[in-house]
C-alpha cells in the first residue's frame, strides 16, 4: 500500500534527520520470508510474529509522570520488566513525553532517548515487547500537565482555570481546546509533531523489543458552537484525527517501515459510541482504544448488572473488523480494592478475550492507592492477581476460539493449523492462577506438548488444516 507524503514531511528532511540522530538505523526491511504480518480469522485480526503465528498480548503501562529532565524515568527499573515477565506478561506500554524529549524547539534531549533505549534493553532481556506511547494529559505543561511542549502551545490568550478533583473536565476549557486546534491545523506545529515522531522512530525503531508506537494518548479536540460530546467527537474523528494519524504514520514510515503504529479513537467510545475514524492508510496500523468505566473513574464501585461492558463491546468491533486491524486495549483499570473489583477484572478480561488481541492495565506500579497492581513490597494488591490469566501468546495457525473461566481455572483454545505458521503454539500459564499445578489435554491428531515452567508448547505433526483444542485445568 502506497504511503502519501504530506507537505510537512519530506524525504530530504528524513535523510537529514537520520544522519543527525545518534544510534539511528536505516529503515529496516520487511520480514523478507514471505510470512504474513497479520492473521485474520473472521472478524478478528492478530499481529503475526516472524514465524507467522497469531500473537496475543498481556501487560501493563509503565509511566513516570513525577520525574522529568535529568530524573526522567527514575521510577522505572529493570526489576519492573523482570517481575512483569516472571508473572507471565509479555507487553509494556511505555509513556514518554514530548515536552521532555524536545524541551525547546528543534533541540532533542539525547539522554532522554538513551533512557528510553535502556528500558527497551531491559524489556528485550526479559522477552517483553514495548509500545512507545506519546502521552499527554490536558495537553501539556502549559496547563499544569504533561505531554506537548510549552513552546508548541497556543491558547490565543484564553484563560485556564484548574478544576481540582476533576482533571478530565479541564479538557473542556476553551484554552485547552484551542491549543489542540492549533496543533492539528498550524503548519509549523504539524511539521514539528511529525519531526518528533521521526526522531523517535529513527533512534529506536530498529530495537528488537519494539512492537510499535501509540501515536498520541487520548486525543481531544475543539468543540464547535452547539456541539455536544458525541457530535464533536464524530466530526473530529472523521476529519482532523484521521488526517493526523495518517500524517504521523507517514512520518514514521520515512525511517521505520515495519513497526506497528497504533491509533486511538476519542474517549467517547467508553460511552458505547462507535468511532467515526476513517481509513488509516498504513499496512501496519493497529487500533488501541481505552476501556474505562466512567462511574468507577468517578470513585464508584463496579456494577456487574450495568450496561457499560455490553455497550462498549457492541460499539468497539465494527471499525477494526472493517479495516482488518489488530486491537490492543492501551489502557484500562480501576480501583482494585472496591467490593466488586474482582468481578470487574474478570468481566473486563472476559470481554477483551472476545474482541482484543491484547491489553495493558493502567498501571504497573507499587503503592497502596490508585490503580497500582502491586503494594509497596511488590506483592499483588487485592484482586490484581486475577490479571494473571492463561493466554495463547503465539498460535501456530488460525485461532478459532479462546477463553478462560476464572471460577474453574479452565483455559481452552481451539485453532486450525496453516502452511504459513511454523513453530509450536505457546500458551502462558501463570503460576498464581495454578498454585497447585495444572493438567494439559489436546484433542486432535498427531500432537505433542510439554509444560515447562509457565509455558505450554503444543507441536502439531499433521498437515495444515487440522483442528486442535487445548484445555488446561488445575491439577
Return the CA Rg of the chain: 22
pLDDT digits (tens, 9 = 90+) for 132-170: 999 999 999 999 999 999 999 999 999 999 999 899 999
Q: Whole-angstrom Cα distance, residue 190 to residue 85?
A: 38
Instruction: Give the residue from 343, 259, 357, 353 showing the smallest Cα distance to 301.
Output: 343
Confidence of residue 425 (pLDDT cuts 50, 70, 90): very high
Give kind and range of the element (H or E) at residue 331.
Answer: strand 328-332
User: Which top CATH class is 33-55+389-475?
Assistant: mainly beta
- Beta pairing partners, 327: 287
CA distance 207 to 231: 40
Span 345-382, pLDDT tens digits: 999 999 999 999 999 999 999 999 999 999 999 999 99
Contact at 8 Å (CB) between 433 and 408? no
> What are residue 41's phi and psi, to 5 degrees?
-130, 110
Residue 191 pLDDT class (50, 70, 90 cuts): very high
pLDDT on residue 17: 42
Do residues 263 and 288 lie in contact, with contact meaning Cβ atoms separated by under 8 Å?
A: yes
CA distance 189 to 152: 7
Strands 129-134 and 210-214: parallel
* d(C-alpha 279, C-alpha 404), whole Å: 33
End-to-end alpha carbon distance in the chain = 50
pLDDT above 70 for 30: no
Answer whether residue 26 shows pLDDT above 80: no
CB 101 within 8 A of CB 73: no
Q: Where are the domains of the chain?
A: 33-55+389-475, 56-388
Whether the pLDDT of residue 28 is over 80: the answer is no
CA angle 463, 464, 469 (to 5 degrees): 95
429 neighbors 457 (Cβ within 8 angstroms):
no
Q: pLDDT tens-digit profile of 455-466?
A: 999 999 888 999
Which pTM value belongs to this model? 0.94
Q: How far is CA 240 from CA 153, 247, 290, in A?
A: 18, 10, 20
- Taking 90 as the threshold, does the pLDDT of residue 31 lie above it? no
Q: Bridge-partner residues for 413, per DSSP?
A: 402, 470
**CA-closest candidate to residue 282, choices 339, 316, 228, 325:** 325
Beta carbons of 31 and 37 less than 8 angstroms apart: yes
* Average pLDDT over all residues of the chain: 93
pLDDT band at 76 (very low <50, low <70, confident <90, very high): very high
Q: When comparing pLDDT for 372 and 13, which is higher?
A: 372
The CATH homologous superfamily for domain 56-388 is Glycosidases (3.20.20.80)
Of 238, 235, 190, 254, nearest in space to 216 by CA: 190
Measured distance CA(448)–CA(2) in Å, rounded? 43
Contact 242, 280 (CB under 8 A): yes
Q: Which of the 8 DSSP states describes residue 275? A: P
In sequence order, the β-bridge partners of residue 60 are 92, 361
Nearest to 218 by CA among 357, 44, 362, 115: 362
Reported as half-sphere exposure (CB side, CA atoms, 13 A), residue 323 has a value of 21
Segment (H or E) for 60: strand 57-62
In the three-class reduction of DSSP (H, G, I as helix; E, B as strand; rest coil), residue 464 is classed as coil
The two beta strands, 425-428 and 129-134, are unpaired
**Res 34: pLDDT:** 56
Q: Identify the pLDDT of residue 89.
A: 98
Closest to 196 measured CA to CA, from 132, 257, 145, 143 = 132
230-250 average pLDDT score: 98
**pLDDT (mean) for 303-318:** 97
Amino acid at each position: 500500500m502506497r504511503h502519501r507524503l504530506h507537505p510537512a514531511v519530506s524525504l530530504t528532511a528524513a535523510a537529514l534527520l537520520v544522519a543527525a540522530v545518534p544510534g539511528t538505523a536505516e529503515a529496516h526491511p520487511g520480514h523478507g520470508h514471505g510470512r504474513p504480518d497479520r492473521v485474520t480469522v473472521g472478524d478478528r485480526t492478530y499481529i503475526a510474529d516472524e514465524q507467522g503465528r497469531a500473537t496475543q498480548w498481556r501487560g501493563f503501562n509503565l509511566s513516570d509522570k513525577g520525574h522529568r529532565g535529568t530524573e526522567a524515568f527514575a521510577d522505572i527499573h529493570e526489576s519492573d520488566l523482570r517481575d512483569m515477565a516472571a508473572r507471565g506478561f509479555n507487553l509494556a506500554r511505555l509513556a514518554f513525553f514530548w515536552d521532555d524529549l524536545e524541551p525547546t524547539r528543534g533541540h532533542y534531549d539525547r539522554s532522554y532517548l538513551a533512557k528510553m533505549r535502556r528500558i527497551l534493553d531491559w524489556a528485550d532481556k526479559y522477552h517483553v515487547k514495548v509500545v512507545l506511547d506519546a502521552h499527554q494529559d490536558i495537553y501539556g505543561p502549559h496547563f499544569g500537565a504533561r505531554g506537548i511542549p510549552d513552546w508548541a502551545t497556543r491558547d490565543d490568550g484564553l484563560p485556564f482555570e484548574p478544576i481540582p478533583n476533576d482533571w478530565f473536565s479541564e479538557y473542556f476549557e476553551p484554552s485547552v481546546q484551542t491549543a489542540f486546534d492549533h496543533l492539528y491545523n498550524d503548519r509549523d506545529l504539524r511539521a514539528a509533531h511529525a519531526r518528533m515522531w521521526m526522531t523517535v522512530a529513527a533512534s529506536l525503531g530498529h530495537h528488537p523489543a519494539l512492537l510499535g508506537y501509540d501515536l498520541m494518548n487520548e486525543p481531544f479536540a475543539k468543540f464547535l458552537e452547539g456541539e455536544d460530546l458525541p457530535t464533536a467527537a464524530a466530526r473530529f474523528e472523521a476529519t482532523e484525527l484521521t488526517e493526523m494519524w495518517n500524517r504521523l504514520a507517514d512520518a514514521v514510515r520515512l525511517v521505520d517501515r515495519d513497526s506497528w503504529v497504533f491509533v486511538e479513537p476519542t474517549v467517547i467510545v467508553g460511552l458505547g459510541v462507535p468511532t467515526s475514524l476513517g481509513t488509516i492508510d498504513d499496512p501496519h496500523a493497529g487500533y488501541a482504544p481505552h476501556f474505562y468505566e466512567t462511574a468507577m473513574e468517578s470513585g464508584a464501585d463496579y456494577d456487574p448488572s450495568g450496561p457499560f461492558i455490553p455497550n462498549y463491546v457492541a460499539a468497539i468491533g465494527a471499525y477494526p473488523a472493517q479495516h482488518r486491524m489488530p486491537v490492543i486495549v492501551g489502557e484500562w483499570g480501576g480501583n482494585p480494592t472496591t467490593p466488586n473489583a474482582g468481578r470487574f477484572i474478570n468481566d473486563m478480561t472476559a470481554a477483551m478475550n472476545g474482541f482484543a488481541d491484547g491489553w495493558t492495565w493502567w498501571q504497573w506500579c507499587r503503592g497502596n492507592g490508585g490503580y497500582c497492581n502491586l503494594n509497596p513490597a511488590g506483592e499483588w494488591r487485592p484482586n490484581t492477581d486475577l490479571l494473571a490469566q492463561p493466554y495463547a501468546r503465539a498460535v501456530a495457525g488460525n485461532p478459532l476460539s479462546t477463553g478462560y473461566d476464572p471460577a474453574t481455572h479452565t483455559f481452552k483454545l481451539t485453532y486450525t493449523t496453516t502452511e504459513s505458521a511454523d513453530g509450536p503454539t505457546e500458551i502462558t500459564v501463570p503460576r498464581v492462577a495454578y498454585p497447585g499445578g495444572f493438567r494439559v489435554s489436546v484433542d486432535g491428531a498427531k500432537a505433542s506438548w510439554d509444560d515447562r515452567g509457565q509455558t505450554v508448547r503444543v507441536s502439531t505433526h499433521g498437515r495444515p488444516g487440522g483442528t486442535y483444542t487445548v484445555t488446561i485445568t488445575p491439577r
